[in-house]
Amino acid sequence: MSSKQSSLHRFRLKRDLERLASKEGRGTELVSLYVPPDRQISDVVTMLNDEYGTASNIKSTTTRKNVQDAIVKVTQRLKLFKKVPENGLVIFCGAIPQNGPGSEKIETYVIAPPEPIQVYLYRCDSRFHIEHLKEFLVEKETYGVLVLDASGATFATLKGKRLDIVEKITSGVPGKFRAGGQSARRFDRQREAKINDYFKRVGEHANKTFLEIDNLKSLIIGGPGPTKEDFMKGDYLHYTLKEKVAATIDTSYVNEQGVEEAVERSQDILRRIRYVEEKNIINDFLGEISKDTGLATYGENEVRRNLKLGSVNTLLLSEDIDSVRVTVKCSSCDYVNQETMKRHKVPELEQDISNNACPKCGVPTLSVEDVQELIDELAELADETGADVEVLSGETEEGQMLKKSFGGIAALLRYKA
């Protein structure tokens, strides 16, 4: 998965999980099912049939009915698959109160995990068990960590939450204070030469350790004092690694503890890396707009038009767009209308069209055919024409600007269209 696609996938998963986390059952009646890729659908169906039988012992009539209804729905969904998809399958289903007690409605959610799931799990609880999917929101890229001062250096890698110390070296550089009788200039010159040799060795070890990592996301440099900055000023690191330095961090130590100190702040750094990516993307867009090159556009209608023409290179979407794309159809003629509106306006529209005649044939048979997140709808259009999609947070000044000044929908274009 390219990083370009992953901002969209992460956003979707995050959004789905937030919604699922907010749902609560009346009792212990919400079903969570995780099926790993190596399972047979028929085995899972057998297991669900057993659970259906077991559920007949539940004393409360309502709970028993709700659990059994949920199991039936899950089984039906499962049977739509000939085999388990390559990353496995997760289904959540249960009776969710819509508007106080007695208003429960069975809701079903099928989630395709972004990576293979390992766990095989059936749970019936008052909430949905989303924790095994939450893991996929954790950053999985590898980061290099180098801490150094004039006494030595430690090289480590961080993948997800796993930290590996790769190597430690000592500098062999004497302390700053010369012994008596030595000429000060000579001492300084010798010390400088030794530091230079040491920096060369640090560079060689860093290049050897970090260059061979596929998809190294970035490099974090740490250490006490100004040695790390001196090291960075020279040409000791391979230029591709130099470009990947995301942050230099002050730490108290230069050993494993120093690496841990640097990593402790990695959450901030990771966020900052995405910040920088986001800033760059939006600045590219703002640059095209201010130079009036015609290679950038914004606003839902213009962006949609360009998406349909296939002229979009990168689609930029603010993650908090809360609009949906609603399709209204007439069952008596071929009238179809699509419009964009805030999600909370949909019930009002449904009310409205039930009182109104079709503008084309005059028969009052209009209904809402489909309600789709605007972000998903635009992302699908992008996907059809091979455009990249970037879902951007409002956490940067640029992200705020995209939202406030450009309606949260913009595009970088391949050509003027």
Contact (Cβ atoms closer than 8 angstroms) between residue 152 and residue 227: no
**Shortest CB 337 distance to Zn ion, Å:** 10
SS3 317: strand
Residue selected from 23, 65, 360, 414 as contacting Zn ion according to rule CB under 5 A = 360
- Return d(Cα 210, Cα 216) in angstroms, integer: 7
Question: Cα separations (Å) of 171 from 105, 183, 190?
Answer: 68, 22, 14
Q: Which is nearer to Zn ion, 95 or 328 (CB)?
A: 328
- Return d(Cα 183, Cα 181) in angstroms, integer: 7
Q: Which is nearer to Zn ion, 26 or 329 (CB)?
A: 329
Q: Which is nearer to Zn ion, 274 or 329 (CB)?
A: 329
Q: Which is nearer to Zn ion, 262 or 366 (CB)?
A: 366
**Shortest CB 396 distance to Zn ion, Å:** 47
DSSP for 167-186, please give it: EEEE-----SSPPTTS-HHH
**Shortest CB 362 distance to Zn ion, Å:** 7
Sheet of strand 142-148: strand arrangement: 162-170, 152-159, 142-148, 216-223, 245-250
Please give the backbone phi and psi of residue 30, each rounded to the nearest 5 degrees, phi first.
-100, 125
Q: Which is nearer to Zn ion, 281 or 358 (CB)?
A: 358
Please give the backbone phi and psi of residue 393, each rounded to the nearest 5 degrees, phi first.
-80, 165
Stretch near Zn ion under the rule CB under 5 A, chosen from 54-62, 263-271, 353-361, 398-406: 353-361
Residue 21 contacts Zn ion per CB under 5 A: no
**Shortest CB 346 distance to Zn ion, Å:** 21
- Side chain identity at 88, as an amino acid letter? G
**Shortest CB 336 distance to Zn ion, Å:** 10
**Shortest CB 358 distance to Zn ion, Å:** 3
Stretch near Zn ion under the rule CB under 5 A, chosen from 17-25, 260-268, 314-322, 360-368: 360-368
Q: Which is nearer to Zn ion, 190 or 365 (CB)?
A: 365
Residue selected from 282, 358, 382, 410 as contacting Zn ion according to rule CB under 5 A = 358
Cβ neighbours for 227, distance < 8 A, ≥ 6 positions apart: 148, 149, 150
Residue selected from 361, 370, 384, 395 as contacting Zn ion according to rule CB under 5 A = 361
Q: How many residues bind Zn ion (CB under 5 A)?
A: 7
- Return d(Cα 79, Cα 45) in angstroms, integer: 8
Instruction: Please name the residue that has the structure tokens 């809701």.
Output: 107
Q: Which is nearer to Zn ion, 212 or 334 (CB)?
A: 334
**Shortest CB 78 distance to Zn ion, Å:** 38
Reading phi first (left if > 0) and then psi (alpha if -120 to 50, else beta), residue 62 is in: alpha
- Return d(Cα 1, Cα 141) in angstroms, integer: 12
**Shortest CB 406 distance to Zn ion, Å:** 36
Residues between 278 and 337 with contacts to Zn ion, criterion CB under 5 A: 330, 332-333, 335
The tokens for 245 are 């330095």
**Shortest CB 377 distance to Zn ion, Å:** 24
Q: Which residues of the shown chain bind Zn ion in the complex (CB under 5 A)?
A: 330, 332-333, 335, 358, 360-361
